[in-house]
Chains A and B, each alone.
Chain A
Amino acid sequence: MGTPVLQLTDRGLYCAAGEFFVDPWRPVPRALITHGHADHARSGHGAYLATDIAAPVMRHRLGAITLDTIRYGEVRRIGAATVSFHPAGHVPGSAQIRVEVGGEVWVVSGDYKLGADGLSTPFEPVRCHTFISECTFGLPVYKWPDQAAVLAQITDWVAWAAEQGRTPVLGVYALGKAQRLLAGLGHLGPILTHGAVEATNAVMRDQGIALPPTIQVQRGLDLKPHRGRLVLAPPAALGTPWMRKLGPVSVGFASGWMRLRGVRRRRAADRGFVISDHADWDGLNAAIAATGAERVLVTHGYTTVFARWLAERGYDAGVLATEYVGEDADDSAPESGGESGGEGPGDGATSAGGPGTPDAAAEVEDDTPSAARGAAP
């Protein structure tokens, strides 16, 4: 057999044939990056390779980096490996990375979802021998309703809040979820945004991604004419002095975790909307089947359980103990940080792996002896 196409090291997934890493969590000379969320795209690497669509946000968040770009489907030779990037449907520019060495094909999913979100290039299954899949929502309780139905719920809530004289504030990730919702809620008229959301909007508009008009909530803005308009803000901004200036509000969250009543209640949200940029249970199973892979290695999420499920279905399944966190059920909790291993560089407000303790999502770290995980970067 020889060396596997990709192997797990303390710095991340390593391809010996091409001498590069995929989404490494410690500084490496050469990193291939699936997408710009902070737990996947970290600072300090010598050279980066990402899709042309993902590049602007990465530059915005990581500053001056050596970044080469690649288009979806473009094939490139790196050392003895052949690599290409394929749509993952997670956020604009997000990719699965296909690595072929000596005829053996591995695909690293990064984060992905199957349904079209109206903004990201939709997920395309890539045939492979070994598929490294996330499984943030790898339990059969996670099933997403249609995006159209959720957008209608949000629209109803905005109308209801306006009737109550409240401003509806929706907690969303600043990169991806916010723009996806913007794209789907343009009929509400101009949408107000927190600075962290607006910064990402600006980067995407600059690169030619069309987004409906937004108004940033900032000093000097007269909020009176905007009472009752939808506000998009990162979860970390909710409950801060920033939010107080909005007057009476109704708070909602848009996340896959909102599927669970316990999480909705713990977050004390007035409303929870079930909408995620990760695959649900059925999506994970469908994606894996579509790859034709015989071997599936699962990372961040309910790894042990999902691997056992796959093994029972006849896959050669295993767990890869990475340091990705996917999506965090409690990411808005500023006081809970500091102890989890998943914290990455980048501003907490826009980070998928913000300063939260990965709650349910951190089951990924569950079955790993603490020594193997090392300390936070």
Chain B
Amino acid sequence: MRGFAALFTALDGTTRTLPKVAALAEYFRTAPEDDRLWTIALLSGRRPRRAVSATRLREWAAERAGLPLWLFEEAYPVVGDLAETIALVLPPPTRRDDRSLTDWMAHLADLAGRDEDTRRVGVLAAWDGLEATERFVFNKLLTGGFRMGVSQGLMTRALAQATGREEAELAHRLMGDWTPATTTFRALVLEDDPAADLSRPYPFALAPQLEGGPDALGPPGDWLAEWKWDGIRAQLIRRGGAWHLWSRGEELITDRFPDLAPAAMALPDGTVIDGELMAWRDGAPLPFAALQRRIGRKSVPKSLLAEAPAALLAYDLLEWQGADLRAAPQDDRRAQLAQVATGPVIRLSPTVAFSDWDGLARARATARDHLAEGLMLKHRAAPYSAGRRKGAWWKWKLDPRTVDAVMIYAQAGHGRRAALYTDFTFAVWHEGALVPFTKAYSGLTDAEFRKITAWVRRNTLERFGPVRRVTPELVFEIAFEGIQASPRHKSGIALRFPRMARWRHDKPAAQADTLDSLRALLPPG
């Protein structure tokens, strides 16, 4: 654990990319191979299941520190991180436990299956054998929320530096549903394994947001436009007599979409399609909420299959007849795709015709009529490149919708923003009262959050644990991407991607918007 904790300290001690990559690469060169594999797993979001609930951890930590639980609970929101709070209150270690990261992970996996007493003894013993940073890291492993300020892309770059292999190849290798239990560092990173390659998706191409319109992109004729769907980005793999469906979060979701199986199996072997999963019925898209009902379920009941049938809106062909097409120009891939995605379930995502940028802007304005979020622009000559590379793909989303709302509850943030009030609940007027309708916690600067924090302290009306009800006085412009009817919410509506666009110092609470004005934005039906 010492080496992994040192890596954490090095990564945590800088916000600059170069030193981070250098520290990781050094670790990938020198750490034991099993620990390298676990590090890759953790930094690519492959977390083991929680061995202990957060509630038990708090109780045990308070007990070990000789503190009443309520005092621990008071300290936690100030620190803003459970793993750190525990590490800070515990008494100094009494011995030195020098187990490796891999051994600790095995120990945790073992504990997860034991009874509570065994788990308690195991965790207390671990705390007693680790110094401060190691404890913090250990607690992070325990609680599962492990982020070290390193994206998967940076990790891949470091791994490329350490191994001398191509970044793109490594990115491809790290995709898929492996865990440290099912592979080894050598097998995953260094050796060729045809079987694993069969289910492996390609790294997704991502699109940066197009700021300021398309005029700077050059001749309109160089570009292809499509609707930007509000669904789930997915890659469909048809290889080796089977099919696999991957979400962009690298989750294998094949089993959740049995309605795609016949169409997928009808594809020829050696086909990979990139597209958007949508709920699609009677030849038209359904709102995102319909698809959302299917995401959380491992098995899908028949009624739901009928209410929210899935379709893959196919927009790119990455592999055809077993050959990697990614280097081919967009137009060629698209032409081939049009021959492949011909059915109603795996259906070609239509292009949006235009001859000049003004015409395209007019088309974009109608995106909501198609239940789309805006447009995608793809350069006709560009290859399919991994990650958010500028120049090949752009998303040109509709400007967000906005509403002016009154802050009524505030809660402190976490991590970097612990002890600042950053999570707010907003309300609009309805029949003379303020009705809460959304939460938002991003969009303002730290300086603004500091001001609001001072204000919250002076204007608290009531406390509910970490939440404070405040004087309904501050007005914020809330921007959001979509709005849907939602019987689960008091207001009857649910927003998509709400955030604070700005603090309306100029507006008194009485002039905030009304629920009726929000309802008017609901899609028909």
Chain A contacts to B: CB under 8 angstroms = 139-143, 259-263, 265-266, 268, 270-271, 302, 305, 308-309, 312, 329-330, 333, 335-336, 339-340, 357, 359-360, 362, 365-366, 370, 373
Q: Contact between B80 and A370 (Cβ–Cβ < 8 Å)?
A: no
Are B74 and A359 interface neighbours, CB within 8 A?
no
- Inter-chain CA distance A260–B418, complex, in Å, is 9
Is B75 at the interface (CB under 8 A from chain A)?
yes
The contact of A265 among B415, B453, B459, by CB within 8 Å, is: B415
Tell whether, in the assembled complex, residue B420 and residue A359 are in contact, meaning their CB atoms are under 8 Å apart: yes
User: How many residues on B have C-beta within 8 angstroms of the other chain's C-beta atoms?
Assistant: 38
Q: Contact: A265 with B416, CB < 8 Å?
A: yes
- Find A336's partner among B13, B72, B450 (CB 8 Å cutoff): B450
CB contacts (< 8 Å) of A305 on chain B: these are 71, 74
Q: Are A335 and B417 in contact (CB under 8 A)?
A: no
Q: Does B54 interact with chain A (Cβ within 8 Å)? A: no
Docked Cα-Cα span, A35 to B460, in Å, equals 32
Closest to B419 in A: A360
B155 to chain A minimum Cβ distance, whole angstroms, is 20
In the complex the two chains form, is A141's CB within 8 Å of B415's CB? no
Q: Which of B71, B415, B454, B459 contacts A262 (CB 8 A)?
A: B415
Residues in A whose Cβ lies below 8 Å from that of B330: none
Bound: A263/B12 CA distance, A: 13
Closest residue on chain A to residue B15 by CB atoms: A268
Minimal Cβ-Cβ distance residue in A for B445: A335
A260-B79, A266-B446 known; A312+B416 contact, CB < 8 A: no
User: Known: A143-B88, A259-B88. Contact between A357 and B78, CB under 8 A?
Assistant: no
Contacts of A143 in B (CB 8 A): 88
Q: Is the CB of A266 within 8 A of B417?
A: yes
- Report Cα–Cα, A143/B67, bound state, in Å: 14
* Beta-carbon nearest neighbor of A341 in chain B: B458
Determine if A362 and B457 form an interchain contact, defined as CB atoms under 8 angstroms apart. yes
How far apart sit A262 and B416, CA to CA, in the bound complex (Å)? 4
> Which of A140, A261, A265, A370 contacts B71, CB < 8 Å?
A140
CB of B78, distance to nearest CB on chain A (Å)? 6
**Pair A141/B89 contact, Cβ less than 8 Å:** yes
- Residues on the B chain within 8 Å of A140, using CB: 65, 67, 71-72, 75, 88-89
Contact B457 A366, beta carbon cutoff 8 Å? yes
Closest chain B residue to A272, Cβ basis: B13
Selected contact of A365 from candidates B75, B416, B458, CB within 8 Å: B458
Alpha-carbon gap, A305 to B68, bound state (A):
12
Alpha-carbon distance A92/B162, docked complex (angstroms): 53
Tell yes or no: B85 within 8 A of A by CB: yes
Complex interface: chain A residues within 8 A of B79 (CB)? 141, 260-262
4 more contacts with CB within 8 A, not counting A139-B78, A266-B416, A370-B459, are A302-B78, A305-B71, A329-B419, A336-B450
Instruction: Check B459–A141 contact: CB distance below 8 A.
Output: no
A331–chain B nearest beta-carbon distance, Å: 11
Question: B81 in the interface, Cβ–Cβ < 8 Å?
Answer: yes
- What's the minimum C-beta distance from A163 to chain B, rounded to whole angstroms? 13
A261 to B13, CA, bound (A): 10
Contacting pair B447 A333 (CB below 8 A): yes
What are 6 of the A-B contact pairs (CB < 8 Å)? A141-B88, A262-B84, A262-B417, A266-B446, A340-B454, A370-B459
Q: Is B178 interfacial (CB-CB < 8 Å)?
A: no
In the complex formed, the residue of A with least CB distance to B456 is A366
Known: A339-B454, A339-B455, A357-B450. A261 touches B84 (CB 8 A): yes
Closest 5 CB pairs of A and B: A262-B418, A141-B88, A336-B450, A357-B454, A265-B416
Indicate if B451 sits at the interface (CB-CB under 8 A).
yes
Complex contact A357–B88 (CB within 8 A): no
Q: Known contacts A265-B415, A339-B455, A360-B419; decide if A271 and B88 are in contact (CB<8 Å).
A: no
Contacting residues, chain B, for A271 (C-beta < 8 A): 13
A339 touches B451 (CB 8 A): yes
A270-B80 contact, Cβ under 8 Å, with A302-B74, A336-B451, A359-B420: no
Q: Is B94 an interface residue (CB 8 A)?
A: no
Write the nearest CB–CB distance from B143 to chain A, whole angstroms.
15
A362 cross-chain contacts in B, Cβ below 8 A: 454, 457
In the bound complex, do residue B78 and residue A360 qualify as a contact, i.e. CB atoms below 8 Å apart?
A: yes
Q: Quick one: which of A262, A268, A329 contacts B81, CB cutoff 8 A?
A: A262
B80-99 CB contacts (< 8 Å) to partner A: 80-81, 84-85, 88-89
Tell me which of B12, B68, B85, B450 contacts A141 (CB under 8 A). B85
Smallest CB separation, B272 vs chain A (Å):
40
Q: How far is the CA of A259 from the CA of B78 in the complex (A)?
A: 12
B486 touches A (CB below 8 Å): no
A141-B417 in contact (CB<8A): no
B14 in contact (CB, < 8 A)? yes
Docked CA distance A3–B214 (Å)? 77
